[in-house]
Every structure is written in C-alpha cells, then in structure tokens.
Amino acid sequence: MTFGNPDFCSLATLLSSPRNDSHCVAFDLNNTINWANFVADVSQLSRQLASRNEHHIALCAGDSYRFSVGFFAVCYTQKSLILPGNYQPAALAELSQHFELLLCDEAITIPNSTPTISLNHLALPNDMRDEAVCFAPLSLETQTLTLFTSGSSGQPKAIIKTLRQLEAEIAILEQLWGEQLIGAKVESTVSHQHIYGLLFRVLWPLCAGRAFARHNLEFPEQVTAHAHPDTVLISSPALLKRLSQEHQPSPLRTLFSSGGPLTYSASCHAKTLFGQRPIEVYGSTETGGIAFRQQHSATQQWQLFPTVEARLNSENCLALRSAHIDPNHWYQTADECEFSDQRHFTLKGRTDRIIKIEEKRISLVEVEQRIEQLPWISETAVLPQQDGERLILISAIVLSACGTEKLAQLGKGKFWLLLRSELRQWLEPIAVPRRFRVVKEIPLNSQGKRLVAELETLFQP
C-alpha cells in the first residue's frame, strides 16, 4: 500500500526512520518535544526495562508523550504491554493480576506491592542522556498489548491485540485521510488508554509525522480556544454534544468522533462551529474501526472501512472479518444492521438491548428513537427497572427549547401525559416509559458511553 504522505512509516520501523532531529513529536502550551528527544527517551527507558525481570508491564500515563515513550520502550524490550482503561486505585487493584510492573507519570497507589517506575524524568536535556540504542524493527506478529472493555458481567474483559493488527488499521486510516491531514497537528478530548484514542491521537500521528498535544482538552471552551485551520480534533459525542450556541466559531482542518453515534443536530452544530462535519468512526475495542460516515443528511449511512468484509447472521447482526480484527475468522457483533449495498448500511441498534416485558420483546433502541422524534425531546436514555413484581421502562430526557416551553406551560403531570399519549401512537402500552426525569444532559464517560449507574440513581425513591 502506498501513501501520499512521504513522512509516513510503519510501526515496525518507526524508531529507525530517518526523521530530522528537530521534527516536532509532541507539544503543550509552553514547550515542544523533538524527534531526537523522543528517540533518546525511548532508548533510556528501554535500557531500564531490559535490566528488569518483570515481563507484564502496565502503562498508566495521563501525558500522551510519556505514554508514547512507555509504549515503545515496552515493545522494544519485547515485553507484554497492559493498558488499563481506568487509573483509579481500586480499578488498578482489580487488574493487578495482569501485570508485575507499573509505569506511571503521577502518584498512583495500588493496595499491593507492585513495583512502579516513574515516567516524570522523561524529556531530559540531551547532555544528561546516555548514548541512544540502535532500534531493530519490531516484531509485529509477536508483540502484544492488552486493552480492557466492559464485559457482560460488568467486570473488565481483556482484549489482546498484536502490533500487526494496529499497523493494519493505521494503514487504513492513512489511506482514507492521510493526505488531507499533511502538516496538521493533533488535539484530543479522548484518552489514549482506549483503542480509539490510542490509534488516532498517538500511534497514527507518530507514524504519519504529525505532532500531537500532550494533554487532553477537557471543556468545550478549551476546544474552541485551541481550534485552528491546521488542527485535527480527536473527540467524542460526550464533548461535542456539550457545545452550545454561545461558543465562538473556530475553524478546524478535520474533526473525528467515536464512542457512539452523533446526533444529526450535533453534527450540524459542529459544522457551524468548526467548518467541518465530524467524521464519525464506528467500532469497538474488539474490532477496532469498522465503518465511518459524515452526516450530510439525517439518514446518512455508514461506509465500511477498506479491507473490512461484512455479512449478516440470521438476526441481521453484523459479522466482520479483516486484517485488523482477524483475517481468518468472522467476528460476530450484536449490532443489527440493514445494508443498502455491499459497503453501506444503517445501524438499527444492539440486539442485546432487547428485553422482555410480559412476554413481549421490547427494543430499547426503538423506544428511544420514538421518544426522540417528538419535537419536545432532543435526547433520551431508556432503561428497564424492576417495580415490585413487574418490569417497567424509565426514561431520562433532555428537553428541546420548545419542550422546555411546553413543560413550563403544562406542568409536569400534564406534560408526562402528553408524552405518553404521543408515544402510544407508535408503541404498545407496556413499551411506553412509566417514569421520566428531565436532565440537562445524558451522563457519559470520556469514551461517550452512558453512565448507567448514574442514570439509575435519578429514579431512586
């Protein structure tokens, strides 16, 4: 595969690529870190890790530059890399069976004797460094990393990837968007501890020679302040939906979003603010990227990534095969889809969000769609709840401007009756939520996933 970007190189040969020593790798508000510093930092840490006996190494760094140094240092010492998705002490303790050594850039306490190495010494002046090592090509087939996602039991589920799988997906990203990003720098609102941030804000920029920000943008005000025609923003629905009419328009080169589908209204608002419709990426920790879209209409379909093969099972759920998932086996998802041709499809929702109430199958996705088509509602989250001996549905709703006016006009009691009356035109009575709560926004984590426990507390007596 050939690329229009002359700076692009493989993960395998990244550290031996002939880049200029002054090439900018990462930046913050006050400083930049160049290629010579990056190579020297990886060299120093690799030498330190090679002298130790631990093989399974966890990497917990909030700073994306220090994270990238730790990532490649572990890989070049041919040790197993563990990427916890959560830095909280109890969460790390829960995963401590998976690692023997912790690399971190801040004081992280875990309730056992796991040794740690601080990454805070990185980016030292050149005259304080030892001689750099010579980096041989990485073994993409044998070098592994472990990420974590939420399992069906609620416990973290380990997902093992090879560098070959990551390299295959990076090549797809560069094929699709590399040329339009030449000369751009990367800002992000998402963590590099998860597959989307790992690829889009760290590994792909490194392979493509794009400088990336060391720290996350946390608030909408920071996003608009840092926007620039030569900036690529890696973001999620969790943040993009928080952008309001008060934020000043600021152009971006390109804007990516992943973690969940973005509403059409949020996509349009992003276009107004940044001059670009978000490129949405659909995927998961298990599969990596599957498809993408830019919502030029409310019915915009998803387009499969190049090299991704897809088929539907008997329940119309998507099965996938590709080099960055598994080239030899089909991976079955629980995502129901409808294809318009071999490469384009509409997501119908997850079949594991279908529940039974009084022996009837109820799609929570459909209930949410029916609620959101009402003019008074901009967004909703529907959950099942046990109410004595029976199961009912509950709904947290974000009101539109006219919904806020309608609620003030009618009062809560009559407003809930209006909602139920409208929904009964589409849904059976048992599928109409029995309880509603108005919220300013649906609570999401940094990856755009709903915080179900937080939603459930809204309905506690």
Report pLDDT digits (tens) over 18-72.
899 999 999 999 999 999 999 999 999 999 999 999 999 999 999 999 999 999 9
- Which of 61-70, 208-217, 236-245, 399-408 is predicted with the least confidence, judged by mean pLDDT? 236-245
Res. 129: pLDDT tops 60 = no
CA dist 156 and 85 (Å) reads 9
358-457 topology per CATH: GMP Synthetase; Chain A, domain 3 (3.30.300)
The two structure tokens encoding residue 395:
């709904």
The pLDDT confidence band at residue 247, using thresholds 50, 70 and 90, is confident
**What is the mean predicted confidence (pLDDT) over 405-417?**
95
3-state secondary structure of 330: strand
CA dist 276 and 253 (Å) reads 8
Give the tens place of pLDDT for each residue, 296-314: 999 999 999 999 999 999 8
| Residues belonging to the chain | 461
The residue with greater pLDDT, 437 or 446, is: 437
Give the tens place of pLDDT for each residue, 251-290: 999 999 998 888 898 899 999 999 999 999 999 999 999 9
Location of each CATH 3.30.300.30 domain in the chain: 358-457
Residue 407: CB atoms within 10 A of its CB come to 18
Query: What are the residues whose beta carbons fall under 8 Å from the beta carbon of 39, sequence distance 6 or more?
Result: 15, 132, 135
β-partners of residue 288 are: 284
The whole-number pLDDT of residue 123 equals 55
Location of each CATH 3.40.50.12780 domain in the chain: 14-163, 217-351
The whole-number pLDDT of residue 363 equals 84
The whole-number pLDDT of residue 6 equals 83
What is the separation of C-alpha 237 from the centre of its chain, rounded to a whole number of angstroms?
Answer: 10
Res. 132: pLDDT tops 90 = no
Query: What are the residues whose beta carbons fall under 8 Å from the beta carbon of 18, sequence distance 6 or more?
Result: none
CA dist 316 and 308 (Å) reads 17
Question: What predicted TM-score, i.e. pTM, was given to this entire model?
Answer: 0.82
The whole-number pLDDT of residue 70 equals 97
Give the tens place of pLDDT for each residue, 152-207: 445 678 999 999 999 999 999 999 999 999 999 999 999 999 999 999 999 999 99
The whole-number pLDDT of residue 188 equals 97
User: 379, 385 in Cβ contact below 8 A?
Assistant: no
The whole-number pLDDT of residue 263 equals 86
User: 203, 11 in Cβ contact below 8 A?
Assistant: yes
Share of the chain above pLDDT 70, in %: 94
**Identity of the amino acid at 319:** A
Query: What are the residues whose beta carbons fall under 8 Å from the beta carbon of 301, sequence distance 6 or more?
Result: 293, 340, 344, 345, 346
The residue with greater pLDDT, 428 or 252, is: 252
14-163 topology per CATH: Rossmann fold (3.40.50)
User: 240, 266 in Cβ contact below 8 A?
Assistant: yes
The two structure tokens encoding residue 237:
């629905």
Res. 128: pLDDT tops 60 = no
Res. 213: pLDDT tops 80 = yes
What's the CATH number of domain 217-351, 3.40.50.12780, 3.40.50.360, 3.90.950.10, 3.40.190.10?
3.40.50.12780
On average, the pLDDT of the chain sits at 89
Taking each helix axis from N to C end, the angle separating 35-50 and 64-76, rounded to the nearest 10 degrees, works out to 50
